[in-house]
C-alpha cells in the first residue's frame, strides 16, 4: 500500500488544503511508488508562514549558543540516521549509495559547524567620535526565510540553507523538490527531534509554480534562498526586487577542467571522470567541459573513453554501481536533446551518446564529445547530465579565454605542477571556486560556495557567508555622558 505523506507545519502533519497529491517514484524503477505527497498551494503557504511568524518570536529569544547546541544535536542525529537516509536518497533520486552517504555527511558537517557559529555571531566595537559614548554592532535575525532547494543534493543543500538561518534566529519554511520530498522530510524530522522550536521550521511540499511561487510572493517572508536554474532564479529576482526581499541565488554552471601540458595525467584522468560522471553529471559543479592541449589531446581522450566505458550503470542501492539513473524521464529527454544538438553542430561522439540499454530506469550512458568548438551550444549551455565536451587548445592563453567564454561562473579546475600557473588560474578564471589538481566538485561546509555572472547574485552558501546572509547588522549607540551630544555639530 502506498504511504501518504503530509506537510510538517508547527511540528504537526498537515495535508494540503486542496487535498491534492503527487506521486514520488523511483528513477531506477519507475513502477516503485515511494509515496504520495501533498500538492500545496497559496493557502498552505499562508498557514506555514503564519505559524513561522509565531515560531520566530519564540526561537529568536533562545540564546545563540543554545540554538547552536540544538543544531549540534541535529548533526549527531543525522550521523546516527545516515545509512537510513542515504538508502532513501538512492531509491528516491538515484544517487549511488557512496554519494548518498556523502550527501548526508555534508549535512552532519554543516550542523557541527553551525554549532560552533552559535558562539561566533560577532559584532564589532569601535570608538565613538564623542566622549562618554559607546558604539557597537549586533547581528540580528531577519524573520521568516523561504528556502527552495533542488533534488540533486536533497539533504546537503537544505542543511546549507536551514541550519545557518536557524542559528541566526530565523524561522524557516522549506519547499523541497517534487523529485526528492522524502529526504527533505527525513531532514526536517531530525531538526524537530533535536529540539528546534517546532513552529520555527516547516516543510511544505509541492511544485515550484504553485507552492514555490506563493512562498516567494508572500509578504510575510523576509528572505528567499533559492537553488535551481538561472531561468527560474531570474524570475524570483524580479519578484524579490519589487518586494524588497533579501535574496540568495545559486544557479547554473558550465564548469571547465584545464589540463596543462605538465599535468599529472593519471590524477587529471581520475578527476575528470569523477567530476563529469559523478551523480550522473547532475551537479551544478559537474565537469561539463575539458580543455586539452594539442599534444595531449588524442592520447588523453583515448584513456578517458576507455575508462568511461567501464563505468558500471545500475541500481543505486548496489554498492558496485558507479553511475545511477537520471532523476526523471524529463531529465533523460533533456540530456538526449542536448547530445543531438551537439551532433547536429558538428561534435563527434567518442563514447555513449545514447540511452543505456538493458536497465529499467532513466539511464543515459556516460558520454564524451570531441571536435567541440567554443561557439557550440554544448560548450556554452548547462546540460546537467553525464555529458563531457572536449575542446582542444593551442596555448594557455587560449585555454583561459575559452574557460571564461560562458555566461556562468561557478567552479573551475586546473591540473598543473607549475605553482605560477596555479596562481594565475586563481586570478584569471572567472568562477567563484577554483580547484588546483582536483576536480570541479568537492565543496567543504566551512568555506563559501557560490559563483559569479549568471550563476548567482553575489551571496554565498557555506562558511561564514551564509551567516552574513541570514542576519543583518544593527548599530547600537550608548551615550552615558548625561548631556545632549549632537555628533558632528558639537565635536567640530
Q: Please list the active-site residues.
A: 250, 284
3-state SS of 102-124? Answer: HHHHHHHHHHHHHHHHCCCCCCC
Q: How many angstroms separate the Cα of 198 from the Cα of each of 11, 51, 59, 173?
A: 5, 9, 9, 11
Backbone phi and psi for residue 351, each to the nearest 5 degrees, phi listed first: -160, 155
11-41 CB burial, b ≥16 within 10 A, e <16:
beebebeeeebbebbbbbeeeeebbbbbbbb
Task: Measure the CA–CA gap between 320 and 322, rounded to whole angstroms.
Answer: 6
Contact predicate 174/206, CB 8 Å: no
Q: How many angstroms separate the Cα of 12 from the Cα of each of 184, 188, 202, 251, 316?
A: 15, 12, 9, 32, 32
Backbone phi and psi for residue 334, each to the nearest 5 degrees, phi listed first: -65, -45
In the block, cell 533579501 appears at 246
Contact predicate 62/182, CB 8 Å: no
Compute how many other C-beta atoms are within 10 angstroms of the C-beta atom of residue 330: 11
Amino acid at each position: 500500500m502506498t504511504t501518504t505523506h503530509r506537510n510538517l507545519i508547527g511540528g504537526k502533519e498537515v495535508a494540503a488544503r486542496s487535498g491534492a497529491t503527487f506521486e514520488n517514484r523511483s528513477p531506477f524503477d519507475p513502477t516503485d511508488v515511494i509515496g504520495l505527497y501533498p500538492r500545496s498551494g497559496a493557502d498552505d503557504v499562508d498557514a506555514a508562514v503564519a505559524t513561522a511568524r509565531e515560531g520566530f518570536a519564540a526561537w529568536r529569544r533562545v540564546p545563540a549558543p543554545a540554538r547552536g547546541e540544538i543544531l549540534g544535536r541535529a548533526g549527531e542525529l543525522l550521523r546516527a540516521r545516515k545509512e537510513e537516509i542515504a538508502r532513501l536518497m538512492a531509491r528516491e533520486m538515484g544517487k549511488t549509495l557512496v554519494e548518498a552517504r556523502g550527501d548526508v555527511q555534508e549535512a552532519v558537517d554543516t550542523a557541527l559547524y553551525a554549532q560552533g557559529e552559535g558562539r561566533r555571531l560577532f559584532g564589532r566595537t569601535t570608538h565613538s567620535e564623542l566622549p562618554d559614548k559607546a558604539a557597537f554592532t549586533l547581528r540580528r535575525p531577519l524573520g521568516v526565510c523561504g528556502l527552495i532547494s533542488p533534488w540533486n543534493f536533497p539533504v546537503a543543500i537544505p542543511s546549507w540553507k536551514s541550519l545557518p538561518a536557524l542559528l541566526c534566529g530565523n524561522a524557516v519554511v522549506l519547499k523541497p523538490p517534487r523529485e526528492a520530498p522524502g529526504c527533505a522530510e527525513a531532514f526536517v524530522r531530525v531538526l524537530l527531534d533535536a529540539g528546534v522550536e517546532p513552529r520555527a521550521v516547516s516543510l511544505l511540499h509541492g511544485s515550484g509554480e504553485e507552492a514555490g511561487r506563493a512562498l516567494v510572493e508572500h509578504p510575510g517572508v523576509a528572505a528567499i534562498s533559492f537553488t535551481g536554474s538561472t531561468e527560474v532564479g531570474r524570475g524570483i529576482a524580479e519578484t524579490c526586487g519589487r518586494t524588497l526581499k533579501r535574496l540568495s541565488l545559486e544557479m547554473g554552471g558550465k564548469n571547465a577542467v584545464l589540463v596543462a601540458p605538465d599535468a599529472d595525467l593519471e590524477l587529471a584522468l581520475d578527476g575528470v571522470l569523477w567530476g563529469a560522471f559523478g551523480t550522473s553529471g547532475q551537479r551544478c559543479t559537474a565537469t561539463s567541459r575539458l580543455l586539452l592541449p594539442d599534444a595531449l589531446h588524442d592520447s588523453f581522450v583515448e584513456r578517458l573513453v576507455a575508462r568511461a566505458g567501464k563505468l558500471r550503470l545500475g541500481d543505486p542501492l548496489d554498492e558496485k554501481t558507479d553511475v545511477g539513473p537520471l532523476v526523471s524521464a524529463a531529465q533523460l529527454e533533456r540530456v538526449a536533446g542536448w547530445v543531438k544538438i551537439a551532433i547536429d553542430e558538428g561534435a563527434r561522439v567518442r563514447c555513449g551518446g545514447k540511452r543505456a540499454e538493458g536497465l529499467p530506469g532513466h539511464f543515459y550512458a556516460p558520454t564524451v564529445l570531441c571536435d567541440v568548438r567554443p561557439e557550440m551550444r554544448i560548450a556554452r549551455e548547462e546540460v546537467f547530465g553525464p555529458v563531457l565536451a572536449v575542446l582542444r587548445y593551442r596555448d594557455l592563453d587560449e585555454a583561459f579565454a575559452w574557460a571564461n567564454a560562458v555566461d556562468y561562473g561557478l567552479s573551475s579546475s586546473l591540473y598543473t605542477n607549475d605553482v605560477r600557473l596555479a596562481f594565475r588560474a586563481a586570478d584569471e578564471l572567472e568562477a567563484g571556486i577554483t580547484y588546483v589538481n582536483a576536480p570541479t566538485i568537492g565543496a567543504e561546509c566551512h568555506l563559501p560556495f557560490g559563483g559569479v555572472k549568471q550563476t548567482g547574485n553575489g551571496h554565498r552558501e557555506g562558511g561564514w557567508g551564509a551567516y552574513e546572509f541570514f542576519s543583518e547588522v544593527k548599530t547600537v549607540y550608548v551615550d552615558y555622558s548625561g548631556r545632549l551630544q549632537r555628533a558632528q555639530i558639537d565635536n567640530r
